[in-house]
Amino acid sequence: MNIAHLLLHQAQKQPDALAIRYAGDDFTYEQFAQRVLQASAGLEAAGIAAGDVMAIALADPLDHWCATLALAHRGATVLSIPRSMADAQMIRLLNLTQCTRVLVDGEHRMSTAGPHLSTVSWAEVKAHALPNALAAPALDADRPWILVSGSGSTGQPKIMPVTHRAQWHRATLGRQWLPYGDEDILLSLVSMHFYAAKQRCLEALAMGAAIFLDVPGRVDHRKEVAAGEVTAIYGTVSHVELLLRSLPADHDLHYGRLRALMVGGSVVPMRLREQIRQRLTPKLHVLWGSNESHTATITSLNEVFVTEGGVGRPFPGVRLEVVDDEGVPVAPGVDGHIRVSSAASITAYLGDPEATQKVFRDDWFYPGDIGHFTLDGQLVHRGRTDDMMIVSGVNVYPAEIEECLRSFPGVADAFATPLRHRQLQDLPVALVVAAAGVSLDARTLVQHVRNQIGRHTLHDLVFVERIPRNEQGKIQRKVVSGIVRAKWETSGKPAATPATRTGSNASLPMGTLTLGFRRPPGGKPGALNAWLTVLEVPDDQLLPVDLSDTDQSAADDGQIWLHQVLTLARGLLHVLRVPLFDPIDVVQCRRAAPESKHWEAVCRVPDPSLVARPLFEGVLKVAFRLAAWVSKADVESTADRERFFQTIEKDVVRAFAKVQPNGKSTFEVLRVAHSLGVPYLPLPNGAFQLGWGRHARRIDRSTTDRDSAMGMHWTQNKLLTAQLLRQAGLPGPTHAVVKSFEQAREAAERFGYPVVVKPADLERGEGVSVDVRAEDLEAAFNDAHKRSPGKLVLVEQQVPGVCHRLFITAGKLLYAVKRLPIGVYADGRSTIRALVAAEYEAQQRIPPWKRSGIRPLDELALHMLRRQGWQPEAVPQAGQFVALRRIETTAWGGVDEEVTHTIHPDNVSAAIVATQILELEVAGVDMISRNIQQPWHANGAVINEVNYAPLLGGGEISRRYIGEYLSRLLKNRGQIPIHVYAGGKDAWLKGKTHYEELRAAGVDAYLVDEHRTLDSKGHPCVIASNSIETKVRALLMRQDVQALVLLAPSSHTPGWIDRLAGRVFTPPHGDHAIEISAGSGGTN
């Protein structure tokens, strides 16, 4: 079973039938099959074998489609690299998929991907001699034929391996539900670079229909439809809206001859459906599904214009249910979680067990969508689970707000989104597009929504020219977030970010900074993105591509530049491990005079508890200076990159090194906490509180408030740790503490060589020497003695095996890795010397503070190669690991291989007991074992060390488990209900009543306003501050606070909430209350 057989079958069944129409040429099935087989033979000649992962970076859609099927025919796995993909995203994708070869045409940009990536010329592949006969395709139905890349909530892309078997089901299922036949010609408006287009084309192949290929970006195909050259179209909401805008202002059915128009990828509102019926065609079909599970439903012609949000019915071969939080199916009309099951679904994400466990359970896939079935069995899609807003305990669905807005005369489009707030809650806001020539009033629209579906359902809105969507029709959420934050928080004024001249202005809100700057002449605004990528700023923080166009208006030029400089400043703060993850807000940004080249801006200073103002201003100045320099620098120049890094190390790392004491683990934990909506509060000396009140926990690096001081003391002394382990019946190391070389020699002779020598009071591999023999002992002792703070050295009996780190949290294994020394993985083609040189060169392209310890072959590396029987010019087998050091250490670095799912349960149990014996909630247990899949008592493994404050988030494997680490520590993401009443007398009365109701219900609620604080018993609570902000912070630190009611006069609301949480909430006009309830969880 190979999907290329779909093409070969049609070539045999109907060789002269039309298969492809492209650029005025027609290709029959036989002709196209011959092109694919010719390319398959060329790939074979290029060394592409079954099981290889190969990227395709071909611009021409016919070449791309031909290469896709040729690789599938070879049994290789396809990875598409769209031209619009950012360099950093491309590099990350290639690394995650372990792809080392890419198929390119004459125009490619693969030099940025590093030396490990080799290119194969498509011109040479397709010019290969045509084979004499149709070769049978490579057969392995359960091998992935394609790796589909999707976005993840933490920034980590989801890689979906779709097997030949699953794809075969997807393609052949289409015969049952596709609204066109084998005589039709399908056009996909989605570019062939994306999986959705390939999926639609494979369905057409299975049907025996033809495919019309066109250049990406063209949406107007009226002539082709009128001529019958296109009879069926697939596209997204974004494509359809572009198509509608391209039409003349008449009311003819421009696509009336279409057999079918299929629209999917995102919600298709009724307003758009009606426009399609009036101006394009009545033959509309809405699709619902996902890349993970394939298309699951399709609307029929008689219901697509009837049911709001209706996406049709599942077809044979697809199981679909709507269930509650416990997985129990709900009644028709009741909203719940949609789940789907079919043979076409994948079963896991590649290399991401945490994401897999969340959405793949018990043969079901949970796409994160909310909906319900109608009484007659149609699925109604209500939105995404992560979009749902909880406002004062009521579920509010964005789709409900959007449809209410679209029902108002003059509204062309709308998109509702929650404005996240760490303490208060989700505030519903919306982007609205007005119809051409229509003037709308925001307050009237907000009131319209509140009157229709409830007073809590919309807080505010902003008007935009269009709703930002990508090529696949998905909402560009980061762009939306930027629009909402910038325009809503500044009452609709244009926003941007800071500059080089700083000052203050008494008329501006507290906590702001006045800036003046001049945009460096020349260069496109998007050019700075390349340098932000070098700094490894996440892709979703880069300036969107559509803002980098050369036709940007001059009015936006300074704002765009300022946005990028502020993004750079935030990236520089991250180098210092400052946990500032929200964008830096801008109050205003404008030219100093109408034609001036100088700009003036005002930005909000971040919360000083997170970043001190002098630090913020100092880093901001460096960012402007760097941005001006890199606008003239070459990102591909080694010298320019090194100067970029040196400037950061000198002017940021060394200049501010002592300002922020946060550890590496702390920063990574807070990064994930922020993405999950976990609130946090800085504490003295680099510690942080996660969550509020009763649900709060404290961390310092990876340690928690439940790690005992005694345990910390024990782990810092390896001798004490070993004694405790042996007393507890666990396999501890055998060693002796010595103070002199003579004592060391006596111990070594007693244990027998080789031995391990290390400081008795240091961790993380510092000063450790292994394989120490008699002739090496004195040097090893002197090194350990010099490094030891207490001048105590351990001589340890060496145990054969490899060190494994078992990270234990809350009495369970979080993850486990095999800790290999620094080294390289062979590609089967290069010498060891070349592999090391290439890896060293690749490391020089990334920031020095993120580089591994690899270096050109030195004497230690050559010695290690000889131990393994290698010479520098040897070419190891592909995938083989070649070590360059004996062990992994902090100084040299190392390579981790995950063993979480293969480790023997007895080894996990031993590590958990060791952690409990040392009274730690979090520990890194190091076990030396020859084979971690075998129990420790069967192969002589020992627990070598138990580490307090083990590094968390230092590598890719570790970072994947931080979300689980937080979920074990925190209940309900650390949130408690917080209710804010702001306004006049009415607000005070409502808040006081709510406080009494909470107390009557047995909730330990506190009430706070400017003048008083009442505890959960109604008694006055004295807090040594007159600041309402300080009072709130103090209460959120108390373990007995289950809920908080805050009464804030409207005159004080913007100031303290801004400083406390980084948001400004403007009360409605008039003397009445606004209620903002933070945290959706209970109070237990």
For the segment 762-808, what is each residue's pLDDT rounded down to a tens digit?
765 677 888 888 988 988 899 889 888 888 888 988 888 888 999 99
Q: Which of 596, 628, 660 is the last residue of a domain?
A: 660
- Predicted local confidence at residue 72, as pLDDT: 94
pLDDT at 142 over 50: yes
What's the whole-number average pLDDT of the chain? 81
**pTM for the whole thing?**
0.58
CATH of the domain at 149: 3.40.50.12780
Angle between helices 527-534 and 554-575 (to 10 degrees): 10
pLDDT of residue 545: 40
Q: What is the mean pLDDT of residues 445-473?
A: 78
Domain assignment present for 50: yes
Residue 890 in tokens: 């902090």
One domain, residues 618 and 633: yes
pLDDT given at position 152: 47
Same domain for 924 and 1007, yes or no, is no
Provide the pLDDT for residue 1065: 28
DSSP, residue by residue, 75-136: T-EEEE--TTS-HHHHHHHHHHTT--EEEE-SS--GGGG-TT-EEEEHHHHHTSPPPSS-PP
Three-class secondary structure assignment of 579-619: CCCCCCCEEEEEECCCCCCEEEEEEECCCCCCCCHHHHHHH
Same domain, 502 and 624: yes
The pLDDT tens digits of the residues spanning 563-609 come to 888 889 989 998 888 888 877 877 778 887 777 778 888 887 777 77
Q: What is the pLDDT of residues 625-679, one digit of tens each?
A: 898 888 888 887 888 888 988 999 889 888 887 765 667 888 899 988 888 878 8
Q: What CATH number has the domain bearing residue 318?
A: 2.30.38.10
What tens digit of pLDDT does each residue of 929-966 get?
999 999 999 999 999 889 999 989 888 889 889 988 99
560 part of a folded domain: yes
Per-residue pLDDT for 88 more than 80?
no
* Residue 297 resides in a domain: no
Q: Both 501 and 628 in a single domain? A: yes
Of the two residues 491 and 911, the one the predictor is more confident about is 911
- Per-residue model confidence as pLDDT tens digits over 23-74: 889 999 999 999 999 999 999 889 898 889 999 988 899 999 999 999 999 9
Q: 3-state DSSP call for residue 444?
A: helix
What are the residues facing 688 on neighbouring strands? 682, 699
Mean pLDDT of 987-1010: 87
User: Do 501 and 647 belong together in one domain?
Assistant: yes
3-state class percentages of the chain: helix first, strand second, coil last, to nearest 5: 35, 25, 40
Q: How far apart are CA 1084 and CA 1078, in angstroms?
A: 15
* Tally of domains in the chain: 6
Q: How confident is the model at residue 83 (pLDDT cuts 50, 70, 90)?
A: low
Is residue 109 a contact partner of residue 119, using CB atoms and an 8 Å limit? no
User: What digits encode the pLDDT tens for the residues 666-684?
Assistant: 889 998 888 887 888 888 8
Helix (H, G, I), strand (E, B) or coil at 979: strand
Q: Identify whether residues 778 and 840 lie together within a single domain.
A: no
Residues 948 and 1018 in one domain: no
More confident residue, 765 or 259: 259
Mean pLDDT of 372-387: 83
Whether 600 is covered by a domain: the verdict is yes
Q: Could you tell me which residue, 169 or 383, shows the higher pLDDT? A: 169
Asked if residue 794 belongs to a domain, the reply is yes
The verdict on 656 and 776 lying in the same domain is: no
Q: How far is CA 185 from CA 218, 232, 294, in A?
A: 17, 6, 22
What is the rounded CA–CA span in Å between residue 872 and residue 881? 14
Give residue 607's Cα distance to chain centre: 25
pLDDT at 911 over 60: yes
Residue 40 vs residue 1046, higher pLDDT? 40
Q: 994 and 1022, same structural domain?
A: yes
pLDDT at residue 764, rounded to an integer: 57
Among 190-199, 424-433, 636-645, the range scoring the smallest mean pLDDT is 424-433
What 3-state class would DSSP assign to 928? strand
Q: Which residue has the tokens 């289409």?
A: 174
Least confident of 3-7, 79-83, 389-393, 477-481: 389-393
The answer to whether position 596 is within a domain reads: yes
pLDDT greater at residue 181 or residue 553:
181
Cα-trace Rg, the chain: 31
Predicted confidence (pLDDT) at residue 473 exceeds the cutoff of 50: yes
**950-972 residues labelled b (16+ CB within 10 A) or e (exposed):** bbbbeeebbbbbbbbbbeebbbb
For residue 371, pLDDT beyond 60: yes
Q: In this structure, are 880 and 995 located in the same domain?
A: no
Rounded to 5 degrees, what are φ and ψ at 103? -95, 120
Residues 961 and 994 in one domain: no
Calculate the dihedral angle through the C-alpha atoms of 774, 775, 781, 782, rounding to the nearest 10 degrees: 160
pLDDT band at 1059 (very low <50, low <70, confident <90, very high): very low
Q: Where residue 783 sits, what CATH number does that domain have?
A: 3.30.1490.20
Q: For residues 372 and 515, what is the distance between their CA atoms, to the nearest angstrom?
A: 51
Q: pLDDT tens-digit profile of 303-353? A: 898 888 899 998 888 999 999 888 899 888 888 999 999 989 999 998 888
- Domain membership of residue 559 (yes or no) is yes
- What is the C-alpha separation between 897 and 987, in angstroms, rounded? 57
Q: Give 878 or 392, the one with higher predicted confidence.
A: 878
Q: Is residue 713 part of a domain?
A: no
Residue 306 in contact with residue 376, Cβ under 8 Å?
no
* Token reading at 307: 């049911």
The residue whose two tokens read 């001798």 is: 719
Query: CA 196 to CA 258: how far, in whole Å?
Result: 20
Same domain, 829 and 898: yes
Domain boundary among 633, 660, 687: 660
Single-letter code of the amino acid located at 676? L
Where in the sequence is the domain holding 771, given as residue range(s)? 734-798
The DSSP result for 484-523, as a single string, is IIIIITTTT-------SEEE--TTSPTTEEEEEEEPPSSS
pLDDT at 113 over 70: no
What is the DSSP secondary-structure string of 639-693? Answer: HHHHHHHHHHIIIIIITTTTT----HHHHHHHHHHHHHT--EEE-GGG-EEES-G
Domain stop point among 929, 953, 969: 969
> Which CATH number does the domain housing residue 912 bear?
3.30.470.20
Taking residues 107-136, report their average pLDDT.
Answer: 69
